[in-house]
Amino acid sequence: MTRSMPPSTLVVQLNDQPGALDRAIGLIRRRDYGVSSLFVGTTGGTSRMVLVVDAAKVHQIMQQLSRLIDVLSVTEVPYEEARMFQLSDTLRRFDHPPAVTPTEEII
Amino acid sequence: MSTTPDPLRRTGAQILCEALVRQGVDTIFGIPGGAIMPFYHALPEYADRLHHVLCRHEQGAGHAAEGYARASGRVGVCVATSGPGATNLVTPIADAWMDSSPMVAITGQVSSTLLGTDAFQETDIVGITVPITKHSYLVRDPAELPRVIAEAFLLAMSGRPGPVLVDVTKDAQQASVVPDWNVPRVVRGYVDHRRQDVDPAAVTAALDLLGGAERPLILAGNGVIQSGAAAELLAFAEHTGIPVITTLQGLGGFPQQHPLSLGMPGMHGWAHVNRAIQRCDVLLNIGSRFDDRVTGKVSTFATQARIIHVDVDPSEIGKLVPVAVPAVGDARAVLTVLLADGQRLPAPTRFASWRREVRELRDEFEPRQAYRRRPDTATLQPHDVYAALDAARQLRGASRVVTDVGQHQMWAAQLLGWQHPRTHITSGGAGTMGFAVPAALGAAMACPDETIWVVVGDGGFQMTNQEIATMVQEGIRNVKIAVVNNGYLGMVRQWQQLFEGRRYSGTPLTGPDFAKLAEAYGVRGMRVDDVAKVDWAIEEAWEHPGVVVLDFRVEREANVFPIVPQGRSIGEMMLDAPTPPPAVAGRA
């Protein structure tokens, strides 16, 4: 995301049921919403998804996620608060995986 | 078995039947198969309450359920087995999703012990239909069925209606439990926006905007019909004197014979309607979703207008067009609230000059459009068929028209008069060829006392005409099929003519003799290629106590005008062909 607007962070509560996560993530794919980071966890009967999305599309993303029956709530976290999670900083570590030497030449 | 069975125990299959009956279902459309056999085994016990219509293809069953729902306003139910049975339902489910038709699709699934093993006729139908259902369930435990079916119907019918899929494993249908019918009437995580109070701030903002308007327009869509708001819309339009345009799926939501009715907008809408949209300063959209076939190039759509958008689905508001006043709620609820504030609404006298302006637009463009309705030619034109059918409809009263997808569909929308909700049934958002014949089967089951006209092209007719056999088996007599037969996949051919230098790739189409095909099915068939016989044929069909297929051999290269070329502004309509196509002698 190279927009001047800072990205938006959404916290999504889902039913802790098989397929719930699949529905939410599938929706983001098929509606062509970009996601720059995604966390998933389970907390007492519900799943929680934290995703960082394009701020220009955040309203529509929230509305579309809310349409899913397995989505219990969608909350936008204020930018400053989201920064405290430092999600992206934590993840940046994985941006440069160790180089892998090919073991076979593909002809 | 030595133990006495609990008399309250029921198999999952019995519970499924019972649950449907409890939802008020009396008609279901389906085809049996291995994984749904326990359900079919239980069905005869409920034969007095649940009538099963055996279709010839699951796609037919699905569209029949849609036609039933669209005609009646009730949930349409279709049933199929696992694997190919279920995947054949995918098209009608997608169609119901795009047009917000309430549908519950029940599919059998392989036994739970076989799930995920690539068992015979196993497909992940829940996974396949996630993007095209409001919600879906995989049931492995019969005890869940009372709750799941209650939820499925609640979801299908409430809020913005839509399809819900219930996939039931074979062992869940076979196992027995004592069902608990005390099921909650709410679904966790689901908000029914019909039942929420309309935001007073939105109402005030809408009233302010309308009060300050000079050139307002109402754009009425499917939401008006789905919420049963036709009377409220009429009252609102008359109270304010604001002209009304109706989208394809809104046709019938406002009577077109009313002086405030302008007609249909969009790609094949009337030119004066699109001009009016481009000139209006406030656009009140009630239950329509700014589909690209309505807006054309969206950045150029109604650029002078501030938009009030009433929709039961909040995700539609602001999705494509910037909205000044969002009003979440169903059309009827919002119109009722607006009418309750009647004294704050503008009086009809306020927009007299705007109505005059709109009338002048109509007078400017209508002569050319009137020509299109009845071209002065000796060969049978599609327009002759519509003129005759419309005259017969006006004489005979109660009838419904089910159309397919393509040229014939746009002509029907343009050339037939639409006065009442649920009388125009077509595949809009998905644009599913093959919709009409099975959807008419469903509509005929829902409205046995009305005549159901099918208007269909020769392409779409050849996709699903097998459901005529279903009609015959059911003893249905009230379906009359008019095939507008031009020997082409006509709309694609029209685009090839207008935009691709008449390169008719993949569009010329042969077919059987449809009159003989009708006779083979055991119904009446007539071929009509003479202008003079059109009225007679339609009268004959209407009078005949059974299904009739009329094969109208029309001018092969007739086009639908006006047309907004795809991706262009609705201000740039082609009112007529750049050069008339040369006459084509004979038929392929």
Comparing A24-28, A31-35, B76-80, B303-307, the range with the smallest average pLDDT is A31-35
All residues of chain A having their beta carbon less than 8 Å from the beta carbon of residue B189 are 15, 68-72
CB pair distance less than 8 Å for B315 and A22: no
Q: Are B503 and B571 in contact (CB under 8 A)?
A: no
CB pair distance less than 8 Å for B319 and A60: yes
User: Any catalytic annotation for residue B121?
Assistant: yes
How is residue B440 written in tokens?
Answer: 């008419």
At B583, the amino acid letter reads A
The mean pLDDT of B534-546, rounded to a whole number, is 97
pLDDT of residue A97: 53
pLDDT of residue A7: 86
Give the best residue of B137, B190, B290, B316 to mutate against chain A (max A CB count within 10 A): B190
Residue A4 has pLDDT above 80, yes or no: no
Residue B582 has pLDDT above 60, yes or no: no
Residue B258 has pLDDT above 90, yes or no: yes
All residues of chain A having their beta carbon less than 8 Å from the beta carbon of residue B138 are 19
- pLDDT band (50, 70, 90) for residue B394: very high
CB pair distance less than 8 Å for A69 and B319: no
pLDDT of residue B13: 98
Helix (H, G, I), strand (E, B) or coil at B173: helix
Q: Are B401 and B395 in contact (CB under 8 A)?
A: no
**What order do you get walking across the sheet with B424-425 strand by strand?**
B424-425, B399-403, B451-457, B479-485, B548-553, B524-528
- pLDDT band (50, 70, 90) for residue B586: very low
A106 vs B314 pLDDT, higher one: B314
User: Any catalytic annotation for residue B491?
Assistant: yes
Q: Are B514 and B485 in contact (CB under 8 A)?
A: yes
DSSP β-bridge partners for residue B424: B401
Residue B526 has pLDDT above 50, yes or no: yes
CB pair distance less than 8 Å for A19 and B191: no
The mean pLDDT of B41-59, rounded to a whole number, is 98
Identify which of A15, A19, A26 has the shortest CB distance to residue B189: A15
What pLDDT, in 10s, does the model give residues B122-131? 999 999 999 9
User: Any catalytic annotation for residue B196?
Assistant: no
All residues of chain B having their beta carbon less than 8 Å from the beta carbon of residue A23 are 130
DSSP state of B320: S
Identify which of A15, A26, A70 has the shortest CB distance to residue B131: A26
How is residue B13 written in tokens?
Answer: 């299959």
What pLDDT, in 10s, does the model give residues A40-96? 988 778 899 999 999 899 999 999 999 999 999 999 988 777 766 655 555 555 555
- pLDDT band (50, 70, 90) for residue B404: very high
The mean pLDDT of B383-388, rounded to a whole number, is 94
Close Cβ partners of B118 (under 8 Å, ≥ 6 residues apart): none
pLDDT of residue B342: 82
DSSP H helical ranges for B448-533: 458-464, 467-474, 490-499, 514-521
pLDDT of residue B366: 78
The mean pLDDT of B446-470, rounded to a whole number, is 98
The mean pLDDT of B232-248, rounded to a whole number, is 98
User: Any catalytic annotation for residue B297?
Assistant: no
pLDDT of residue A43: 77
What pLDDT, in 10s, does the model give residues B74-95? 999 999 999 999 999 999 999 9
B197 vs A103 pLDDT, higher one: B197
- pLDDT band (50, 70, 90) for residue B576: confident
Mean pLDDT for all residues in chain B:
94
What pLDDT, in 10s, does the model give residues B272-286? 999 999 999 999 999
Comparing A78-87, B322-331, B576-585, the range with the smallest average pLDDT is B576-585
Identify which of A15, A30, A66 has the shortest CB distance to residue B131: A30
Give the best residue of B133, B165, B315 to mutate against chain A (max A CB count within 10 A): B315
Residue B133's closest chain A neighbor by CA? A68
Give the best residue of B100, B130, B164, B191 to mutate against chain A (max A CB count within 10 A): B130
pLDDT of residue B386: 95
CB pair distance less than 8 Å for A72 and B188: yes
Residue B559 has pLDDT above 90, yes or no: yes
What pLDDT, in 10s, does the model give residues B476-501? 999 999 999 999 999 999 999 999 99
Distance CA B203, CA B198 (A): 8
Which residues on chain B place their C-beta less than 8 Å from a C-beta of chain A?
126-127, 130-131, 134-135, 138, 155, 187-191, 313-315, 317-319
What pLDDT, in 10s, does the model give residues B136-195? 999 999 999 999 999 999 999 999 999 999 999 999 999 999 999 999 888 988 989 888
What pLDDT, in 10s, does the model give residues B357-377? 999 999 988 776 655 555 556
Residue A101 has pLDDT above 60, yes or no: no
pLDDT of residue B587: 43
pLDDT of residue A103: 55
CB pair distance less than 8 Å for A59 and B189: no
pLDDT of residue A1: 45
The mean pLDDT of B18-32, rounded to a whole number, is 98
Residue B585 has pLDDT above 50, yes or no: no
User: Any catalytic annotation for residue B319?
Assistant: no
pLDDT of residue A68: 96
Share of chain B above pLDDT 90, in %: 90
The mean pLDDT of B101-130, rounded to a whole number, is 97
DSSP β-bridge partners for residue B263: B245
pLDDT of residue B2: 56
Give the best residue of A58, A69, A74, A75 to mutate against chain B (max B CB count within 10 A): A69
With residue B480 as reference, give the H or E element that holds it: strand B479-485
All residues of chain A having their beta carbon less than 8 Å from the beta carbon of residue B134 are 67, 69
For strands B163-169 and B216-220, give the pairing.
unpaired
A:B CB pairs within 8 Å: 41
Residue that the structure tokens 């006459």 belong to: B583
Q: Which pTM does this prediction carry?
A: 0.93
pLDDT of residue B260: 97
